[in-house]
Amino acid sequence: MTKVRLAACAFLAVAALAQEPARGGAGRGGGGGRGNPLSTKQPNLPANLFTSSSTVARTPLRHEWVDIPMGRVKLHTWIEYPEGDAKAPIVVVMQYDAGLDDLQRALADQLAFEGFIAVAPDLLSGQGPKGGNYDSFRFPDDAVQASAKMAPDEIIRRYKAAYDYGMKLPRANGKSATLGCGVGGTYSFRFAAEEPGLNAAVVFYGMPPNEAAMAKIKAPVLGLYGEDDPTVVNTIEPTAAAMKKLGKSYESQVYPHATHFFMTYAVEGENGAAIAQSWPKAIAFLKENTK
């Protein structure tokens, strides 16, 4: 486990004291939780902060790091494949504010388990101490600050490089989508405006692009939000109106008493229920639009 991951887990140590009713067994990739949902990986849902590292370490699915050339930078990218050898759609995993940590790689693992080729680029490739990648940052806040300093156009350029690489993979079937949480959701929405070949975009509590960008979107967009997130929730109705006016496909769902970052902080409010409902909805959406 990286120092960044350890620090993030320590940050949520108080949350670990909150006990919830058991929701099932150990599940794929997780340890035996003995009724504690914080230490239990649900087989049909992404891992939480506490089960993500073990999920990534124990996955039986084929995975690899690749370094995608981008001028002077090599974009360090985690790619994970579904079981078997059949061709499959790609989903570009757009990282949340903290970077490409184990939680995001576990998200990629869950997408691969659902039948997609997950392509998760490390946006901080070459941006760390001594030109390192995400894992070269000592503290989570350093990675967050470095991410915040990156120019949006550079971020899109990096996602485009990962997308192009993914589409050329031997197992890629020509269908594609994006999925992201937080700032990753914001870029999932924006990337739909930048890539006309995209087939679907899933936005977990991200912000919409401006109307000029929306006008360029061809893919259907699914937005999934927590009710207790006023800044983001206040954008939903204007976004729906603008997308409808432009003849674009936009579906949204707001989950009661769920917060911003509900995919990360599962024990807050009704975040657990929001995850249990939103993830299957996202997967069904992706499958429907990439078949």
Per-residue pLDDT of 9-66, as tens digits, reads 433 333 333 333 332 333 454 444 455 777 889 999 999 989 999 999 999 999 999 9
pLDDT tens digits for range 131-168: 999 999 999 899 999 999 999 999 999 999 999 999 99
Residues 6+ apart with CB under 8 A from 267: 15, 18, 20, 37, 38
CATH top-level class of 62-289? alpha beta
How many angstroms separate the CA atoms of 244 and 264, rounded? 31
CA 97 vs CA 1, 180, 213: distances in Å: 19, 10, 22
Q: Give the torsion through C-alpha atoms of 20, 24, 30, 36, to 10 deg.
A: 20
pLDDT tens digits for range 16-29: 333 333 323 334 54
List helix spans (H) across 176-251: 183-194, 211-214, 230-233, 236-245
User: Is the confidence at residue 112, as pLDDT, over 50?
Assistant: yes
User: Is the confidence at residue 280, as pLDDT, over 50?
Assistant: yes
CA 125 vs CA 4, 5, 118, 158: distances in Å: 15, 17, 18, 10
Instruction: Give how far the C-alpha of residue 218 lies from the chain's centroid of Cα atoms, to the nearest Å.
Output: 21
**25 burial via Cβ count (<10 Å: 0-12, 13-18, 19+):** middle
Q: Specify the DSSP element, H or E, that contains 91.
A: strand 88-94
pLDDT of residue 28: 53
pLDDT of residue 35: 59
pLDDT of residue 113: 98
Confidence of residue 250 (pLDDT cuts 50, 70, 90): very high
Residue scoring higher pLDDT (171 or 3): 171
Averaged pLDDT for residues 196-224 = 98
How many angstroms separate the CA atoms of 291 and 283, rounded? 12
